[in-house]
Amino acid sequence: MKRRILALSLVLVLLLTMSSLAQQKGKLEIFSWWTAGGEAEGLQALLDLYQKKYPGVEVINATVAGGAGANAKAVLKTRMLGGDPPDTFQVHAGHELIDTWVKTGFMESLTSLYKQEGWEKVMPKGILDIVTYNKEYWSVPVNIHRANVLWYNKKIFAENNLKPPKTFDEFFKVADALKAKGITPFVIGTKEGWEAAHIFETVLIGKLGSEGYKGLWTGKTKWADPKVTDALETFKKMLTYVNSDHPARTWDEACSLIVDGTGAMTIMGDWAVGYFYAKEFKDFGWALVPENTGIFDALSDSFGLPKGAKNRTNVINFLKLLGSKEGQEAFNLKKGSIPARTDVDKSKFPEYQRSCMNDWLKDKIVPSVMHGAAASEGWVTEYKDVISLFIVRPDVKTTQKALVNVAIKNGVKQ
Amino acid sequence: MQKDKLYSFLFLLPSIILIGIFVYGFIVWTGFISFTNWNDIFPDFSLVGFRNYIELFQNLRFQISMKNTLVFTFLFLISSLIIGFLLAVLLDQKIRVENIFRNIYLFPMAISFIVTGVVWRWILNPGTSGNPIGLNLIFDKLGLSFLKSGWYTDPKIGIKAVVIAAVWQMSGYVMAMYLAGIRGIPSELFEAAQVDGASTWKVYRYIVVPLLRPITLGAIIILGHISLKIFDLVVAMTGSGAGFSCDVPALFMYDTTFRGNHFAQGACIAIILLLLVGVLIIPYLTYSLRSEVKR
């Protein structure tokens, strides 16, 4: 009996050593809210690449759908606070990453990985800045999205001899002309609550310019500024041109109105391009939101390394892949965004992304607030609530006062 | 006797401990959190007194969602009770396939609120004016297009559209309670009333309804606490709606806690919801305890 136990344990030891000799084994759990369309395909392309390199690793693709990531973030928070972090998770670069996870000490610094892989040289300063805290890097950006794009139906514009508006005055002229033809000039979907706040953010950029807008989140620009009043008045006027059923629609359901030709323009981030491709809709045109010329309203999805990740080596391998040229190309071709690296082969990308890449290099970059780059999550939530109310009760004075209060509450002197 | 008591206490002990920790312990913990300054993902336990509560009551979204809850609870209770009672009375007329009808009315209750929410979101989705869908499409086809409305997308209707779904789900349950109650009334009472020449209306008015009072009370308690803390139905069906016209405190609590990281504010809302339900439940508990003691 004793012998048998001895023999068994020997076999076990042998097996264990053998498995540790083999190339990377074990698991890798990736947590994200990419469940639909181009995003899921992009993630899958990345995972396929990873599996090719490390076939022994079992990849767990943990996703939580819905609400522009809101549901996923809730699940993530309970897991992190409960001491059960996923190996790596999707997080918007900027304040969402820094305020929620880095300052509170949940993440590991990735500075040495950045140095080792030479990412400092290939990613622009605008993006490096928003993943930096205390001179250390905290996550690897995989893509860049642009939030301040005006999408329009080319056919409708051509038929009515219209040009995409460059200023808000032009916008209202175009809108009036379309309205007279019985076409809904401006389509939006406000079902999930964040869409209107997203649009208002681009109006703010238009009225305040890049520095003025950035100052709103640091205290350099006051929320009581008359330019903010002007932005609210403009937004109020824009809302008189929208589709009446906007509370029932999500952003993609609003884009479907452009596809079927009942609506002419919308403002949405460039994930809309993925939607248009998926619908095989070719007649979409793009311009910048009025008065946003030369400004790139950016957001970025990134992945980091939480403290206590169970499969550290596997995560680091995954992060290396994320930051590599091939990883960024594979992902962004499917997702419809542009790579954070500036040295990828542009010719592989479709027309919209090529133009976006050019702008990325020359435009002034401002962080998107609705997508976690410009302010803490608490501020974003309250800002979103105020604008949601504005849609139904467009009272400029109370809304501006509420925005001022929200800023004060979040520690920015007014 | 002494031993009996000891044994029964020992058998109850595990559940007492578990409930003590996981229900009452956490209630106390939530109450404590609501007085702290925990406004970040990382706990901050410095006490701030009633500041969170004061800020909460000044919050416009909270005011709207409180109002919505009261409207929702009121309409939901009234309509479920009336419809449930009418269904029970109709089923009590000794009809032939009573079983089948009873099951049909009761089935919605077996579905989760999430399923109800999704289905009613589709049914009540207004579509566009040129291209109606769901209920609006039916109205259109029947030539009743004046009945078309924006349903939950119309800020003026908002939460009232959610009431429709909730009533659909719960009125069958009220019916079952009332039916059992009606069946439990001794037949002598009916016979005596008949001998006295009471009309059907009078039988219901003076015999059935008064005797069903405990059941009505029970139904109010059960439906009331469901509606005060409703969350799943609203999330699945409408979300917080245009200008928060469908928002309820539980939804706000989820948003502010898990999106905004305002854990203290979330705890405040939880405590307020608890107090609201307590206002409803505690009188009922004391009432039923007292009547048990009498027995």
Average pLDDT estimate for B155-173: 92
With beta carbons under 8 A apart, name residues in chain A contacting B152: 247-248
Both A150 and A140 in one domain: the answer is no
DSSP string across A38-86: HHHHHHHHHHHHHHHH-TT-EEEEEE--SGGGHHHHHHHHHHHHTT---
> Is residue A21 assigned to a domain?
no
Q: How much of chain A is in helix, strand and coil states, percent to nearest 5?
A: 55, 15, 30
Distance CA A351, CA A340 (A): 17
| Per-residue pLDDT reduced to its tens digit, B220-260 | 999 998 999 899 999 888 888 878 889 999 999 998 998 88
> Is residue B23 assigned to a domain?
no
Q: What 8-state DSSP symbol labels residue A87?
A: S
Q: What is the CATH number of the domain that holds A207?
A: 3.40.190.10
Structure tokens at A244: 């009446």
Range of the structural domain that residue B91 is part of? 34-294
Q: Find the CB nearest B61 among A244, A377, A385.
A: A385
Range of the structural domain that residue A341 is part of? 26-145+300-361
> Is residue B6 assigned to a domain?
no
> Is residue A230 assigned to a domain?
yes
What is the structure's pLDDT at B2? 77
Distances (CA, A) of B24 to B27, B254, B265, B267: 5, 21, 20, 14
What is the structure's pLDDT at A68? 66
Report the mean per-residue pLDDT for chain B: 89
What is the structure's pLDDT at B44? 86
Structure tokens at B160: 């009232």
What is the structure's pLDDT at A24? 64
Q: Which of residues A324, A345, A361 is at a domain's end?
A: A361
With beta carbons under 8 A apart, name residues in chain A contacting B130: 262
| CA-based torsion, B137, B142, B145, B146: positive or negative | negative
Whether the pLDDT of residue A5 is over 80: the answer is no
Distance CA B209, CA B184 (A): 13
CA distance B199 to chain A (A): 50
User: Which stretches of A233-389 are assigned E, i.e. beta strand?
Assistant: 263-268, 284-288, 295-299, 301-304, 364-367
Whether the pLDDT of residue A15 is over 60: the answer is no
> Is residue B68 assigned to a domain?
yes
Both A114 and A235 in one domain: the answer is no
With beta carbons under 8 A apart, name residues in chain A contacting B261: 77, 100, 376-378
CA distance A133 to chain B (A): 17
- Interface contact B244-A377, CB threshold 8 A: no
With beta carbons under 8 A apart, name residues in chain B contacting A393: 243
Whether the pLDDT of residue B129 is over 70: the answer is no
Distance CA A182, CA A262 (A): 9
Task: Find the range with the poorest average confidence among A205-214, B55-64, B122-131.
Answer: B122-131
Q: What are phi and psi of A267, to 5 degrees?
A: -115, 120
* Amino acid present at B75: L
- Interface contact A245-B126, CB threshold 8 A: yes
B241: left (phi over 0), alpha (psi -120 to 50) or beta: left
**Residue A20 · residue A51 · CB < 8 Å:** no
Average pLDDT estimate for B114-125: 90
- Interface contact B239-A193, CB threshold 8 A: yes
Tell me which residues of chain A have a C-beta less than 8 Å from any C-beta of chain B.
Answer: 70, 73-74, 77-78, 80-81, 99-101, 104-106, 190-193, 243-248, 257, 262, 376-378, 380-382, 385, 388-389, 391-393, 402
Whether the pLDDT of residue B154 is over 90: the answer is no
Candidates B238, B254, B233, B239; CA nearest to B114 is: B233
What is the structure's pLDDT at A393? 87
Query: In what helix (H) or strand (E) does residue A221 lie, and over which residues does it extend?
Result: none
CA distance B241 to chain A (A): 7
| Per-residue pLDDT reduced to its tens digit, A290-299 | 999 999 999 9
Whether the pLDDT of residue A312 is over 80: the answer is yes
- Interface contact A244-B150, CB threshold 8 A: yes
- Interface contact B259-A245, CB threshold 8 A: no
Both A258 and A123 in one domain: the answer is no
| Per-residue pLDDT reduced to its tens digit, B51-100 | 999 999 998 899 999 999 999 999 999 999 999 999 999 998 888 888 89
ipTM of the modeled complex:
0.75
At residue B264 the predicted structure's pLDDT band, cuts being 50, 70 and 90, is: very high
- Interface contact B240-A193, CB threshold 8 A: yes
> Is residue B1 assigned to a domain?
no
Tell me which residues of chain B have a C-beta less than 8 Å from any C-beta of chain A.
Answer: 39-42, 60-61, 125-130, 150, 152-155, 239-245, 254-256, 258-262
What is the structure's pLDDT at A19? 46
What is the structure's pLDDT at A6? 57
| Per-residue pLDDT reduced to its tens digit, A216-243 | 999 999 999 999 999 999 999 999 999 8
- Interface contact B258-A77, CB threshold 8 A: yes
Average pLDDT estimate for A156-180: 94
**Residue A300 · residue A373 · CB < 8 Å:** yes
Structural domains counted in chain A: 2
CA distance A377 to chain B (A): 5
More confident residue, A35 or B61: B61
At residue A253 the predicted structure's pLDDT band, cuts being 50, 70 and 90, is: confident
With beta carbons under 8 A apart, name residues in chain A contacting B240: 193, 388
- Interface contact B254-A106, CB threshold 8 A: no
Distance CA A273, CA A286 (A): 10
At residue A192 the predicted structure's pLDDT band, cuts being 50, 70 and 90, is: confident
Both A357 and A372 in one domain: the answer is no
Strands A284-288 and A295-299: unpaired
> Is residue A330 assigned to a domain?
yes
Both A62 and A157 in one domain: the answer is no
**Residue A302 · residue A131 · CB < 8 Å:** yes
- Strand, coil or helix: what is A131? coil
What is the structure's pLDDT at A22? 45
Q: What is the CATH number of the domain that holds B106?
A: 1.10.3720.10
A vs B: CB pairs below 8 A: 90
With beta carbons under 8 A apart, name residues in chain A contacting B249: none
Both A163 and A54 in one domain: the answer is no
Candidates B91, B253, B264, B51; CA nearest to B172 is: B91
Whether the pLDDT of residue A154 is over 60: the answer is yes
Average pLDDT estimate for A353-360: 92
Whether the pLDDT of residue B131 is over 80: the answer is no
Structural domains counted in chain B: 1
Average pLDDT estimate for A105-120: 93
What is the structure's pLDDT at A401? 94
CB neighbour list of residue B137: distance below 8 Å, 6 or more residues apart: B127
Query: In what helix (H) or strand (E) does residue A215 lie, and over which residues does it extend?
Result: helix A194-216
Distance CA B52, CA B34 (A): 7
> Is residue B14 assigned to a domain?
no
Both A109 and A182 in one domain: the answer is no
Prediction pTM value: 0.82
Average pLDDT estimate for A6-29: 60
With beta carbons under 8 A apart, name residues in chain A contacting B260: 377-378, 380-382
Both A261 and A165 in one domain: the answer is yes
- Interface contact B61-A190, CB threshold 8 A: no
Both A340 and A293 in one domain: the answer is no
CA distance A28 to chain B (A): 25
At residue A159 the predicted structure's pLDDT band, cuts being 50, 70 and 90, is: very high
Find the radius of gyration of the CA atoms of chain B: 24
Find the radius of gyration of the CA atoms of chain A: 23
> Is residue A388 assigned to a domain?
yes
Whether the pLDDT of residue A1 is over 50: the answer is yes
Both A133 and A151 in one domain: the answer is no
Written in H, E and C, the secondary structure of chain B is CHHHHHHHHHHHHHHHHHHHHHHHHHHHHHHHHCCECCCCCCCCCCECCCHHHHHHHHCHHHHHHHHHHHHHHHHHHHHHHHHHHHHHHHHCCCCCCHHHHHHHHHHHHHCCHHHHHHHHHHHCCCEECCEECHHHHHHHHCCCHHHCCCHHHCCCCCHHHHHHHHHHHHHHHHHHHHHHHHHHCCHHHHHHHHHCCCCHHHHHHHHHHHHCHHHHHHHHHHHHHHHHCCCHHHHHHCCCCHHHCCCCHHHHHHHHHHHCCCHHHHHHHHHHHHHHHHHHHHHHHHHHHHHHHHC
What is the structure's pLDDT at B294? 64
> Is residue B8 assigned to a domain?
no
Residue of B nearest to A406 (CA): B59
Structure tokens at B168: 């659909």
At residue A21 the predicted structure's pLDDT band, cuts being 50, 70 and 90, is: very low
- Interface contact B242-A81, CB threshold 8 A: no
Report the mean per-residue pLDDT for chain A: 89
> Is residue A102 assigned to a domain?
yes
> Is residue B18 assigned to a domain?
no
At residue B153 the predicted structure's pLDDT band, cuts being 50, 70 and 90, is: confident
Q: Find the CB nearest B243 among A378, A380, A391.
A: A391
> Is residue B191 assigned to a domain?
yes
What is the structure's pLDDT at A245? 80
Whether the pLDDT of residue A12 is over 60: the answer is no
Task: Find the range with the poorest average confidence among A26-30, A114-118, B88-92, B145-149.
Answer: B145-149
Share of chain B above pLDDT 90, in %: 53
What is the structure's pLDDT at B295? 58
At residue B1 the predicted structure's pLDDT band, cuts being 50, 70 and 90, is: low
